[in-house]
Amino acid sequence: MRRSDQEKFDRFTELAARLLGVPIVSLSLVGPRHGVVMSSAGLPAPLVLLLAHGFSRHLAASRQPLVIGDARVHPLGANTPAVRDGLVTAYAGVPLFDARGRTLGTLCIMDTRPRTWTNDQLQRLHDVAWVLRNAVDWRAPKRPGA
């Protein structure tokens, strides 16, 4: 990854945390077998991957936003260690698509407490995702001589 793209990712996750008033934000890329946290705010990326992997996989597969106010009573979260241990309780995420409509990844916001996500917060999450999608060149870098 280019350094300039990593800086953009990091600035977007920090901005999203402040703008949305949440303690945890993650930007993940998804593949057929696994996901990679490209940037996170509030927690180190490896920990975010463990916390939100199941939610992000579902989000990417469904291609629809996922909003969970209390994961302790939600079928996707009730039995996960991160939720049982109180590390993630509330979750909201949106998929990121490329220009052809393929799922690239997810932008997710999380809290350690239950929360009722407001329409304003969810709209801001969509807005941040839109800006992120249009601010970063998502094409793979060209190889020298290609």
pLDDT top residue among 140 and 91: 91
Quick check: 18 pLDDT over 90?
yes
Domain extent listing, the chain: 3-135
Q: Is the pTM of the predicted complex or chain greater than 0.85?
A: no
Contacts of 17 by beta carbon, 8 Å cutoff, 6+ apart: 23, 24, 25, 41, 42, 109
Domain 3-135 fold: Beta-Lactamase (3.30.450)
**Structure confidence at residue 7 (pLDDT):** 83
Quick check: 120 pLDDT over 50?
yes
- pLDDT average, residue stretch 104-133: 92
Q: Copy the structure tokens of residue 47.
A: 């920990």
